[in-house]
A and B are shown apart, each in its own frame.
Chain A
């Protein structure tokens, strides 16, 4: 192995370590860094919706677990603030 490649590999490993440490700091711990990379980042999307676009519709289940309704059924007469989220 030439000196060039030894240096290239060393620099790559240092950059990789720095990125991992930065991610750990941002996420809170190595475990959280893993969780972020494994479970969060693949599901986070900026999306293509823009202000002025037609709001997409989607069918939702009511809290009783039986009835359904559509987001767009709730629009029309007044602005609709839509809050997406989960418990955890």
Chain B
């Protein structure tokens, strides 16, 4: 999503909403959490959520605006957003794009496609033909080059 943000931040606003942890140590922790050293218990109060959110921001130097859901999970409930989900809200305040439920249907490429349809595709040097790789062709759709 950061790549999409960098490509379209001059056209659209972005907001990350931190919701309940998906794989905390006291619930369904996964091996990948241990491997990646991302081990947190499920926050029981807002101060704990703020601390984890700030850890995330610092670790990844995350550039996108950030908000933290209330401890009663109001935003999560309103958007059926757990464990992860993407939306686009248009200028009139209506849902313009609703992503599928994560993780299986969480697809940033769909957001990129929505933005590309409105503002044009953004080409990346890595996908463009180069002398060292003359047979490479740009992706057929902007979405094909999106990364999570």
Contact = CB atoms under 8 A, between A and B. Distances in A.
11 contacts: A40-B28, A40-B83, A75-B89, A79-B90, A81-B111, A84-B16, A84-B81, A84-B84, A86-B18, A86-B21, A88-B24
B86 A84 contact: yes
Interface of A: 28, 32, 35-36, 38-40, 43-63, 65, 69, 71-72, 74-88
B83 A44 contact: yes
A88 B23 contact: yes
A63 B17 contact: no
Which of B4, B39, B81 has most chain A Cβ within 10 Å? B81
A85 B15 CA distance: 11
Interface residues of B, number: 72
B78 interface: yes
B3 interface: no
Interface of B: 1, 4-5, 8, 11-24, 27-31, 33, 38-40, 46-47, 49-50, 52-57, 64-70, 74-76, 78-91, 93-98, 101-102, 111, 115, 118
Contacts of A55: 87, 89, 93-95
A75 B38 contact: no
Contacts of B8: 81
A54 B98 CA distance: 12
A56 B13 contact: no
Contacts of B4: 81
Given A58-B78, A84-B19, 18 more contacts: A39-B27, A40-B83, A43-B83, A44-B83, A52-B95, A58-B74, A60-B69, A62-B67, A79-B88, A80-B89, A81-B12, A81-B88, A82-B87, A83-B1, A83-B14, A84-B17, A85-B84, A86-B20
Contact of A51 (B55, B82, B98, B111): B98
B68 A54 contact: no
A12 to B, nearest CB: 27
Nearest to B83: A86
Contact of B50 (A43, A61, A84): A61
Contact of A84 (B30, B76, B96): B76
